[in-house]
Amino acid sequence: MRNRYGNEVRGLAFVSPWLLGFLVLTLYPILATLYFSFTEYRVLTPPRWVGLRNYQDLFTDHDYFLPSLYNTIFMFLELPVATLLSVGIAILLNQKLRGMAFFRTLFYLPSVVPTVASAILWLWLLNPEYGLVNRTLDLLRLPRSEWLQSPLWSKPAFIVMDLWMVGGGIVIYLAALQGVPQHLQEAAELDGASAWKRMWSVTIPAISPVIFYNLVLGVIGTFQYFTPAFLMTGNPPGGPANSTLFYGLYLFQNAFAYFRMGYACAMAWVLFVLTLLASWVVFRSSARWVYYEGER
Amino acid sequence: MWSGEEEQAFRRVLERYQQLHPNVSIKNLGAIRDDTKAIRAIVAGAPPDLFTLSDPLYLGAIAAQGGLEPLDELFAQSGLRKEDFVRGSLSQASFRGKLYAMPFLVDAYALFWNKTLFREAGLDPERPPQTLEELRSAAIRLTKRDASGNLKQLGIAPVSNRSFYAGDIPLVMHLFAGELTAANEPKVTPDSSRNLRAFEWSAGLIEAMGGYTKVNAFAAGFGQPQGGDNPFFKGKLAMMINGQWNPYWAETYAPGLDYGVAPLPYPSDTPERRNATWLGGNFFCIPTGAPNRKEAWKLLAWMQTEEAQVLFADTMHGVPNIRSVLRNKKLRTGEPWRYHYGKFFDLVENGVPGHFPPLPVSALYNNSLLDAYDMVLDGKKPASQALKHVRERVQNELDRYP
């Protein structure tokens, strides 16, 4: 008996720090939030069971909850733009030219800037009065925008700022591009395929698993959009006119400013389900456009 | 809760207390701006003996949940008298008839006006606006634009602005003698006719100075309030509603600034609001279950002595919350800025103070008002509808508190 399970016990003993940490510090809190989402929980007093009330409140709140969901979904516009941009830049950076290492560093640099520092930097770049962005628009004789101060332009302003930080994605695409089989490229070239055709029929299919990976991460990240809005939209955050009150931001306010922890937990579970659904859609679609080597 | 120079000021106060009471040991955790830290400590069963509430809007919520020790008994035993306190300083710390916190200085708001810019605009530099009607016409005259229509100078700082803090919309409601709660029942009244007037007046002024987006864009270019880039010190703002800490900063960062401090203007048909001011401040609370509540209280009681008040006010530039200290010569005479600083003392002593009522839902209420004001300025909702929505949202939440 002892010999039979000895290995398992030893194995479990060795992974037990992680196992314990996972059960106590991750799984238990997650399940607790599920319970709290059916309660009125104000943190200092014990939770009180209210059934589905929090969920009912959420979906009838036309002033805050639904706009915050809309604001977050708006940010999904960023995903296709960021994907096109980072794949495009990665392809350019993959050319065999002198001094390419310099450009690669240059494009990656913004992603190593701490979020708070880049937030402050962009507050000034986007400043309607003195910002470089508006100054540049003036020089090009294009109309200026009030950016973060305008309910119409505040979300696009965040998209512009995020596009500056696509360096992380570029590096991953660059690595994938280096792995595109050279013999396929050469074969296509010998068959007379143009550079354009080679890109669409060889390069893009070869890196499609990486595009898929970045897309899934992008979907999850967009649903959790929080930090830039928290840092850059003044006090209390979310303005002007709630145009940057993203889902995560409103969840945070409920939990930590309004003593509505039960409500915030319900929001977290709705977010979890939405993220799950969206990821499922991306996964389902992947059969159509993601190519794995070894597949037929 | 404070940092930098202000934290040093608080440390000096604590050091003095320890000199006087060598048997007491105080550990100041300092620079905690996050009230949820104290709340987490209370929940975790390890409350501090004493903590500062950096946002008074949280007082009601914590007190309603039994997180704070009521202080009335200790107050009575220590021989303090309510009538010695500045009006509003204790009501701001009270909830459902019980005292849950002690003030240590208060903040007060008044009107600042730039005499040089008044002169340039052809206004009498020695006569600040008395009524809100005068304020409005002066603000419009003092607003300047460049050739392409962008603002170059704003008549008055917008209230409830997310970039530059110059009072919130409830302050304007106070000027219109609007109440945020009903007198005898637990009802919120943001959409009363007086509050609606305050909302519309305030939104109308922003409209008249260039509109929501233009004013916001201009305010986004304002620098830090504590520094040489403060827009009032730089002459970008002709007037602002702001606190008693400004005169010291003005002398430090803009020594030549020619300005004055006046009571907040009132609507001409509401003369009972002549000499109005608005209070804010930081409060000290003893959490339920604090291990040394008696010792904590002794420190709070000592903070009300003239010595402690003068010591702290002299470096913090707050307004003493003990009436007799308001006449203290040391605080009010000497350097030129103290003349303006003293104006706040008079206003607090003889004026009509208002403050946000402590409710379990104060933070939600205040933010909802701010959001509603934004919606009105952005043209998304008419004021009456926006305020009605605030009432429904906040009342709904208030009704859920036991």
Q: Do B378 and A241 touch (CB under 8 A)?
A: yes
Q: Do B36 and A129 touch (CB under 8 A)?
A: no
Q: Which amino acid is residue B238, in one-letter code?
A: A
Asked if B367 and B290 count as a contact pair (C-beta separation under 8 A), the reply is no
Q: What is the pLDDT of residue B17?
A: 87
CA distance B388 to A60: 16
> Between B45 and A113, whose confidence is greater?
A113
CA distance B391 to B74: 36
Disruptive mutation site among B222, B374, B388 for chain A (greatest number of A CBs within 10 Å): B374
Q: Which segments in chain B show pLDDT lower than 70? A: 1-3, 30-34
**CB-nearest partner of A234 from B162, B361, B389:** B162
**CB-nearest partner of B221 from A42, A127, A237:** A127
Please give the C-alpha separations between residue B231 and each of A171, B60, B155, B164, in angstroms, as whole numbers.
43, 34, 12, 9
Return the number of other C-beta atoms located less than 10 Å from residue A70's C-beta.
Answer: 14
Return the number of other C-beta atoms located less than 10 Å from residue A295's C-beta.
Answer: 6
Q: What is the pLDDT of residue B376?
A: 95
Q: What is the pLDDT of residue A294?
A: 65
Q: CA angle B213-A247-B65, nearest 5°?
A: 105
B19, with CB counted inside 10 A (0-12, 13-18, 19+), is: exposed
Q: Strand B276-280 and strand B352-354: pairing?
A: parallel
A-to-B residue pairs, Cβ atoms closer than 8 angstroms = 87
- What is chain B's length? 402
A46 interaction partners in chain B (CB closer than 8 Å): none
Q: What is the pLDDT of residue A26?
A: 95
Q: What is the pLDDT of residue B37?
A: 76
B363 interaction partners in chain A (CB closer than 8 Å): 257-258
Structure tokens given for A147 = 């950016």
Q: Do B66 and A148 touch (CB under 8 A)?
A: no
Conformation bin of residue B7: beta by default, left when phi > 0, alpha when psi is -120 to 50: alpha
- What is chain A's length? 296
B364 touches chain A (CB under 8 A): yes
DSSP annotation of B241 reads E
Q: Do B220 and A150 touch (CB under 8 A)?
A: no
* Closest chain A C-alpha to B140 CA, distance in angstroms: 21
Summarised one tens digit per residue, pLDDT across range B298-349 is 999 999 999 999 999 988 899 999 999 999 999 999 999 999 999 999 999 9
Summarised one tens digit per residue, pLDDT across range A216-275 is 999 999 999 999 999 999 888 998 999 999 999 999 999 988 999 999 999 999 999 999
pLDDT at A82 over 70: yes
CA distance B136 to B11: 43
pTM of the model: 0.92
**CB-nearest partner of A42 from B65, B217, B221:** B65
Q: What is the pLDDT of residue B43?
A: 78
**Chain centre distance of CA B367:** 15
Distant-in-sequence contacts of A2-11, Cβ < 8 A, 24+ apart: none
In 3D space, the residue among B360, B333, B357 whose CA is nearest the CA of residue B345 turns out to be: B333
B36 interaction partners in chain A (CB closer than 8 Å): 256
Summarised one tens digit per residue, pLDDT across range B201-249 is 999 999 999 999 899 989 988 888 888 889 999 999 999 999 999 999 9
In 3D space, the residue among B43, B100, B41, B239 whose CA is nearest the CA of residue B159 turns out to be: B239
pLDDT at A23 over 70: yes
Q: Do A258 and B221 touch (CB under 8 A)?
A: no
Helices (H), chain A: 2-21, 28-36, 53-59, 65-74, 78-93, 100-112, 115-125, 132-139, 154-163, 167-178, 182-190, 195-198, 204-223, 227-232, 247-256, 261-289
**CB-nearest partner of B163 from A234, A238, A242:** A234
Contacts of A39 (CB under 8 A, 6+ apart): A47, A48, A49, A50, A262
pLDDT at A296 over 60: no
Q: What is the pLDDT of residue B34?
A: 65
CA distance B20 to B185: 46
Q: Do B371 and A241 touch (CB under 8 A)?
A: yes
B46 interaction partners in chain A (CB closer than 8 Å): none
Summarised one tens digit per residue, pLDDT across range A114-171 is 999 999 999 999 998 889 999 999 999 998 888 999 999 999 999 999 999 999 999 9
pLDDT at A102 over 90: yes
**CB-nearest partner of A130 from B221, B367, B370:** B221
Cis preceding linkage at A240, omega within 30: yes
Q: Do A241 and B361 touch (CB under 8 A)?
A: no
Q: Do B371 and A242 touch (CB under 8 A)?
A: yes
Asked if B350 and B133 count as a contact pair (C-beta separation under 8 A), the reply is no
Contacts of B372 (CB under 8 A, 6+ apart): B190, B199, B381, B386, B387, B389, B390
